C-alpha cells in the first residue's frame, strides 16, 4: 500500500503502452505553473469549453495540490507542452450504509479530438485502477458525460438522480410549519454556514462524496464567473435555537417581458433536519413573482411530492444515473458498509481486468454488521454477475431483482436476488448531489 496516493509516480505499464504510440505520460507537478496552465487549457478544449480566462486558471491552480494530475503529451506537435489527454484523481470519502469508505475519485478525462480512438483513454483508465489499488483503495468512482464509456473498465452505474420542474402556482403547499426562520445571506456567509452543513448532510446521504477545497467553493459560484456568481442567492434555515440546519442556493431567471414569471433554478439544497428541508422548499415554492422552480441531481425518492397538494405539478424532466463505481477489492468494499438485515449471500464475479474476479460471501447479522470473506458458500443464495454490476449493487442503488429479470445476473436459486435487495438497499435511495 502507498501512504501518499497523490505522489504515486507514473504508471509504467500505461506509460510503455503510450510510448509505443509516440506519446509521453507525465504526472503534472502542482508547483509547475506552466504545466498546470497547459493542462487546464487541455481540459477546457476536451470538454468543448472556451479557452480558459486568467481568472479560471488562477482558480483551477487551487485544485492541483489536492489531486494526482496526469497529462499525455505528443512531442511531435507544434505545441508539445499542451497535453493531448488529461485525467485527475484523488482519494475522497464516499458515504456508504453505516459509514464511509475512501474511494479513488477520477475526473477530467479528456482526449484531444486529434488523438481519439487510439487507446489513450483505455491506457489512462487502466492506469487509474492500478494506482487506486496501489493506494490500497477498494473502489474507484467517477461521474460521466456519456453512459457508454466506462462499463468496459468495470464501472457500473450506482446512483440515480432526478431533475424536475415544479409549477409553483398550482402545486400548493400542504406541509407542516417549521419552527425556525429563514434569512438570506451573502456568499461568504453561505460558505461559512455551508461547510459544516454540507459535510453533515454528506455523511448522512448514502452515495454522496466529500467535496473539499476549491471544488467546494465552486458550489457557491465560481469566482472566475463573476456574472454567474452575482446571480446566486443563498437562503439559510436556522432552527428555533438559531442553529443553521439548511441552506438553499438558487438563482432567478427572468422570462422575457414577464416580471411575474421568474423561474427559480435550485442549484443545491442541503438540509440536516426535516424541518429545514420543509422550510426551504416552502420558501422556494412560495417566492413571489415566480412561476416555476427547477431542480437537478435530486434524490429519486424526494419527500417533496408529499408536501404539495398537487404532486402532478412536480414534473420529472430527467432520471439518470450519476455516480459510477468500480469495485477493486470486493471483500474490503463490502466489509466497509452495513446491511439492512441478516442473511448470507455469495457473489461470483467476473472481472476481465482481474481485480475483483472470484467469489466472496457476506454473512450479515440482524443488526446490520457483517463478516465478508473470500470464497463462495457451498449452498444457499448466490449471485453470479460481471464486476460493473457489482458496482451498481454496492450502495443498493440498483435492484438485483430488476437485474435478474433483465437477465443481467444469474441467481443460484429463485429468490436470491430478492435477498440481495433486502440486505443491500438502504432506507432511502442513494444519491450523489454534486459533480466531482
Ligand atoms: C471519451 C474519450 C475520453 C475517449 O477517449 P479515446 O482515447 O478516444 O478512447 P480509446 O481510444 O481509449 O477507446 C477506448 C474504448 O472506448 C470506446 N469509446 C471511446 N469513446 C467513446 C464514446 N464517446 N462512447 C462510447 N465508447 C467510446 C472505444 O471504442 C474503445 O472501445 P474498446 O476498448 O471496447 O475497443 C474521448 O473521446 C473524449 O475526450 N471525449 C470528450 C470528453 C469526454 O467526454 N470525456 C469523458 C468525461 S466523463
Digit-coded pLDDT (tens) for 301-332: 999 999 999 999 999 999 999 999 999 999 99
The residue out of 288, 321, 354 marking a domain boundary is 321
Q: Are 104 and 132 contacting, i.e. CB atoms less than 8 angstroms apart?
A: yes
DSSP three-state, residue 80: coil
Q: Is residue 304 part of a domain?
A: yes
Q: Are 339 and 374 contacting, i.e. CB atoms less than 8 angstroms apart?
A: no
| C-alpha cell at position 4 | 501518499
Q: Is residue 431 part of a domain?
A: no
Q: What dihedral do alpha carbons 284, 218, 97, 304 form, nearest 10°?
A: 10
Q: Is residue 430 part of a domain?
A: no
Digit-coded pLDDT (tens) for 29-44: 999 999 999 999 999 9
Question: Which is nearest to 51 in space by CA: 79, 73, 23, 22?
Answer: 79
DSSP three-state, residue 163: strand
Average pLDDT for the chain: 95
Q: Same domain, yes or no, for 361 and 336? A: yes
**Residues above pLDDT 90, as percent of the chain:** 89
Ligand 1 centroid to 117 CA: how many Å?
Answer: 7
Ligand 1 centroid to 121 CA: how many Å?
Answer: 6
CATH number reported for the structural domain that contains residue 31 in this entry: 3.40.630.30
Q: Same domain, yes or no, for 277 and 419? A: no
Q: Same domain, yes or no, for 59 and 207? A: no
Atom 5 of ligand 1, residue of closest alpha carbon: 121
Q: Same domain, yes or no, for 387 and 312? A: no
Q: Are 111 and 85 contacting, i.e. CB atoms less than 8 angstroms apart?
A: yes
Atom nearest to 116 CA in ligand 1: 8
Q: What is the mean pLDDT of residues 166-183?
A: 96
Phi, psi of 421 (to 5 degrees): -65, -40
Digit-coded pLDDT (tens) for 81-101: 999 999 999 999 999 999 999
Whole-Å CA distances, 364 to 199, 203, 337, 415: 28, 22, 11, 17
Atom nearest to 85 CA in ligand 1: 39
Atom nearest to 117 CA in ligand 1: 11
Q: Same domain, yes or no, for 182 and 279? A: yes
Burial 113-151 (b: 16+ CB within 10 A, else e): eebeeebbbebbbbbbbbbbbebbbbbbbbbbeeeeebb
Question: Which is nearest to 327 in space by CA: 294, 292, 351?
Answer: 351
Ligand 1 centroid to 50 CA: how many Å?
Answer: 21
Q: Same domain, yes or no, for 315 and 337? A: no
The residue out of 267, 291, 321 marking a domain boundary is 321
Residue 2: pLDDT band (50, 70, 90) is low
**Cα–Cα distance, 330 to 349 (Å, whole number):** 9
Residues touching ligand 1 (Cβ under 6 Å) are 46-47, 109-111, 116-122, 144-146, 148-149, 152
Q: Is residue 361 part of a domain?
A: yes
| C-alpha cell at position 341 | 438485515
Ligand 1 centroid to 326 CA: how many Å?
Answer: 17
Q: Same domain, yes or no, for 259 and 351? A: no
Q: Same domain, yes or no, for 412 and 292? A: no
Digit-coded pLDDT (tens) for 179-236: 999 999 999 999 999 999 999 999 999 999 999 887 888 899 887 888 889 999 999 9
**Residues above pLDDT 70, as percent of the chain:** 99
Ligand 1 centroid to 122 CA: how many Å?
Answer: 8
The residue out of 284, 303, 321 marking a domain boundary is 321
Q: Is residue 227 part of a domain?
A: yes
Residue 21: pLDDT band (50, 70, 90) is very high
Q: Is residue 284 part of a domain?
A: yes
Into how many domains does the chain fold? 3
Q: Is residue 294 part of a domain?
A: yes
Candidate from 87, 121, 124, 145 with most ligand 1 atoms within 8 A of CB, to mutate? 121
Digit-coded pLDDT (tens) for 330-378: 999 999 999 999 999 999 999 999 999 999 999 999 999 999 999 999 9
Q: Same domain, yes or no, for 295 and 374? A: no
The predicted structure's pLDDT at residue 265 = 97
The neighbour count for residue 384, using CB atoms within 10 Å, is 16
Q: Is residue 213 within a helix (H) or strand (E), and if so which, with residue range?
A: helix 213-218
Atom 15 of ligand 1, residue of closest alpha carbon: 122
Q: Same domain, yes or no, for 234 and 304? A: yes
Q: Is residue 146 part of a domain?
A: no
Q: Same domain, yes or no, for 336 and 301? A: no
Q: Which domain holds residue 386?
A: 329-424
Ligand 1 centroid to 153 CA: how many Å?
Answer: 11
CATH number reported for the structural domain that contains residue 380 in this entry: 3.30.1050.10
Q: Same domain, yes or no, for 308 and 202? A: yes
Amino acid at each position: 500500500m502507498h501512504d501518499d496516493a497523490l505522489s504515486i509516480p507514473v504508471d509504467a505499464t500505461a506509460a510503455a503502452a503510450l510510448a509505443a504510440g509516440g506519446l509521453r505520460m507525465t504526472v503534472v507537478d502542482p508547483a509547475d505553473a506552466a504545466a498546470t496552465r497547459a493542462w487546464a487549457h487541455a481540459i477546457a478544449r476536451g470538454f468543448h469549453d472556451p479557452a480558459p480566462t486568467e481568472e479560471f486558471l488562477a482558480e483551477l491552480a487551487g485544485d492541483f495540490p489536492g489531486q494526482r494530475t496526469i497529462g499525455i503529451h505528443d512531442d511531435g506537435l507544434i505545441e508539445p507542452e499542451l497535453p493531448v489527454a488529461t485525467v485527475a484523481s484523488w482519494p475522497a470519502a464516499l458515504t456508504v450504509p453505516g459509514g464511509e469508505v475512501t474511494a479513488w475519485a477520477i475526473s477530467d478525462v479528456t482526449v484531444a479530438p486529434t488523438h481519439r480512438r487510439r487507446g489513450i483513454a483505455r491506457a489512462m483508465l487502466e492506469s487509474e485502477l492500478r494506482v487506486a489499488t496501489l493506494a490500497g483503495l477498494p473502489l474507484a468512482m467517477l461521474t460521466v458525460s456519456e453512459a457508454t464509456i466506462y462499463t468496459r473498465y468495470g464501472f457500473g452505474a450506482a446512483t440515480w438522480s432526478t431533475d424536475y420542474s415544479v409549477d409553483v402556482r398550482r402545486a400548493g403547499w400542504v406541509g407542516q410549519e417549521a419552527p425556525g426562520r429563514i434569512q438570506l445571506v451573502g456568499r461568504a456567509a453561505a460558505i461559512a454556514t455551508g461547510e459544516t452543513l454540507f459535510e453533515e448532510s454528506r455523511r448522512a446521504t448514502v452515495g454522496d462524496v466529500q467535496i473539499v477545497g476549491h471544488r467546494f467553493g465552486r458550489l457557491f459560484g465560481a469566482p472566475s464567473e463573476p456574472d454567474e456568481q452575482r446571480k446566486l442567492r443563498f437562503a439559510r434555515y436556522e432552527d428555533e435555537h438559531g442553529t443553521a440546519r439548511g441552506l438553499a442556493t438558487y438563482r432567478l431567471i427572468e422570462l422575457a417581458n414577464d416580471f411575474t414569471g421568474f423561474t427559480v433554478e435550485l442549484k443545491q439544497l442541503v438540509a440536516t433536519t426535516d424541518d429545514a428541508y420543509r422550510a426551504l422548499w416552502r420558501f422556494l415554492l412560495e417566492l413571489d413573482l415566480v412561476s416555476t422552480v427547477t431542480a437537478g441531481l435530486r434524490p429519486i425518492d424526494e419527500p417533496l411530492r408529499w408536501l404539495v397538494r398537487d404532486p402532478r405539478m412536480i414534473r420529472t424532466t430527467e432520471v439518470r444515473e450519476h455516480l459510477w463505481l468500480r469495485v477493486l477489492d470486493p471483500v474490503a468494499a463490502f466489509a466497509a458498509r452495513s446491511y439492512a438485515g441478516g442473511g448470507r449471500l455469495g457473489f461470483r464475479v467476473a472481472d476481465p481486468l482481474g481485480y475483483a474476479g472470484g467469489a466472496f460471501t457476506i454473512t450479515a447479522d440482524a443488526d446490520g454488521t457483517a463478516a465478508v470473506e473470500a470464497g463462495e458458500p457451498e449452498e444457499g443464495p448466490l449471485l453470479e454477475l460481471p464486476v460493473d454490476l457489482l458496482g451498481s449493487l454496492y450502495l443498493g442503488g440498483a435492484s438485483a431483482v430488476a437485474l435478474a429479470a433483465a437477465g443481467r445476473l444469474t441467481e443460484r436459486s429463485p429468490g436470491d436476488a430478492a435477498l440481495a435487495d433486502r440486505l443491500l438497499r438502504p432506507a432511502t435511495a442513494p444519491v450523489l448531489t454534486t459533480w466531482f
